Amino acid sequence: MAKVLVVGGGGREHAIVHALSKSSKVSEIYAAPGNAGIAKLATCVNIKDTNVSNIVAFAKAEGIDLVVVGPEAALAVGVVDALNEAGIKAFGPTKAATQIESSKSFAKELMAKYNIPTAGYRTFSDYNEALAYVKVNSLPTVLKYDGLAAGKGVVVATTLEMADEALKDMLLDDKFGHGRVVIEEYLEGPEFSFMCLVDNNKVYPLEMAQDHKRAYDNDMGPNTGGMGAYSPLPFITEEDYNYALNEIMIPTAKAMVDMGVPFKGVLYGGLMKTKKGIKVIEFNARFGDPETEVVLPRLESDIYDVFMSIIDGNEPLLRWSDCYTIGIVLASKGYPGDYEKEFVIEGADSDDIYHMGTKIDDKGNLVTNGGRVLFAVAHGASLEEANKKANLLVDSIKCDNLFHRTDIGAKAYKK
């Protein structure tokens, strides 16, 4: 029986831990650092997800058989490289391969070189040059900070003032750190998340999901890390699916090998179905959050075997339930801007509620501890049924400082 360590402490890691807890091969699960929900299924150890040396030391001392690394920040500092060097099996890409997510310019250059369809773009490090470029091009325009910014480094500017403010934040005030900006052509159409297990040249698709990036109903408000998700996707035809797999995901995996940065782990294509075809909005080097929380509950195969197959170079067995899942994020009021923490939460005991940002306070209460706090998932024979059930589950949660969207998945079933 195997001992598994999951690195991270959000809803994605809670869903991974939940899936591992159903494996017949796994005897013990640890999480670093985990959260209050994960603690019900795993032993949480107080190690930060980016503390490479402590993660390696813990895995060695405990005789861990498999480490699954969730967050981009941990991948970007090389947790997987360090574990591999120590002879410990780890699921996730190396630091070099994580660049597909951590550097927008690396991803754009790869797509340009290998003819992978994406929005036209230019990269700038000088504020005045960037502003001059925006002035002579049409609006809306898309400004992306060239680094990790927890889903908040992208501004779709509809006015020159908005673009100017974002460029000042990113290039003059270094709001996300000192860096560059990618300015992109604005694309339109429904977005979807295509996560694939990748083992160098080999690509094994997971079921698709759709995230809802905007903070409020009807896709209003600022971009967030994601406010809700559902799976599978009725608007994706077989032709769309084949195109996304054969013209985007497989060529990208092959391009990474060709460029000397082979990828092993989950390659996440953030794709858009535009009138001119499917195009890449972004790549991530990991499971999406909250997509994972609606996709993994539909996986019927043993996830431990799936992870080990990818690591060992074998074909994983992927069997899916044909139910629909919808999940709704409960976020702290103010998110994605400033918010307060430590509000008491009641009624969040269901196994279908994943914890994204919670902790147990000094008095033993479950309290809010992040921007995105909880994720309520429901299953149904249709999206409509799953949406109704998910909203009921949300209503059972009592907390004074949370808000949520009520229209997750609605566009897919409301005519």
Q: For ligand GLY, give the closer residue by CB, 154 or 253.
A: 154
Q: How far is CA 307 from CA 67, 180, 287, in A?
A: 10, 35, 12
Q: Is 291 in the site for ligand GLY (CB under 6 A)?
A: yes
Q: Considering the rule CB under 6 A, would residue 142 count as an interface residue with ligand AMP?
A: yes
Q: Which of 366, 391, 367 is nearest to 377 (CA)?
A: 391
Residue with smaller CB distance to ligand AMP, 173 or 188: 188
Among 270, 290, 327, 357, binds ligand AMP (CB under 6 A): 270
β-partners of residue 403 are 331
Inter-axis angle of helices 250-258 and 104-113, to 10 degrees?
100
Least Å distance, CB 211 to ligand GLY, is: 4
Q: Which is nearer to ligand AMP, 270 or 297 (CB)?
A: 270
Task: Tell me if 42 sits within 8 A of 35, measured CB to CB.
Answer: no
How many secondary structure helices (H) and strands (E) does the chain include? 14, 23
Q: Does 274 bind ligand AMP (CB under 6 A)?
A: no
Q: Which of positions 100-129 make contact with ligand AMP (CB under 6 A)? A: 119
280 binds ligand AMP (CB under 6 A): no
13 binds ligand AMP (CB under 6 A): no
Distance CA 57, CA 62 (A): 9
Nearer to ligand GLY, 111 or 308 (CB): 111
Site membership for ligand AMP, residue 282 (CB under 6 A): yes
Name the percent of the chain in helix, strand, coil, to the closest 5: 35, 30, 35
Q: Are strands 66-69 and 90-91 parallel, antiparallel or unpaired?
A: parallel
Q: How far is the CB of 270 from ligand AMP (least distance, A)?
A: 5
- Which of 71, 151, 370, 371 forms a contact with ligand GLY (CB under 6 A)? 151
Asked if 186 interacts with ligand AMP (CB under 6 A), we say yes
Alpha carbons 228 and 183: distance in angstroms, whole number = 27
Strand-strand pairing, 66-69 and 2-8: parallel
The 3-state DSSP class for residue 229 equals: strand
284 binds ligand GLY, rule: CB under 6 A:
yes
Nearest of 211, 207, 267, 286 to residue 241 by alpha carbon = 207
Query: Count residues contacting ligand AMP (CB under 6 A)?
Result: 16
Please give the residue ranges that form the binding site for ligand AMP (CB under 6 A). Answer: 119, 142, 144, 151, 154, 156, 184-187, 191, 213, 223, 270, 281-282
Please give the residue ranges that form the binding site for ligand GLY (CB under 6 A). Answer: 151, 211, 226, 284, 288-289, 291
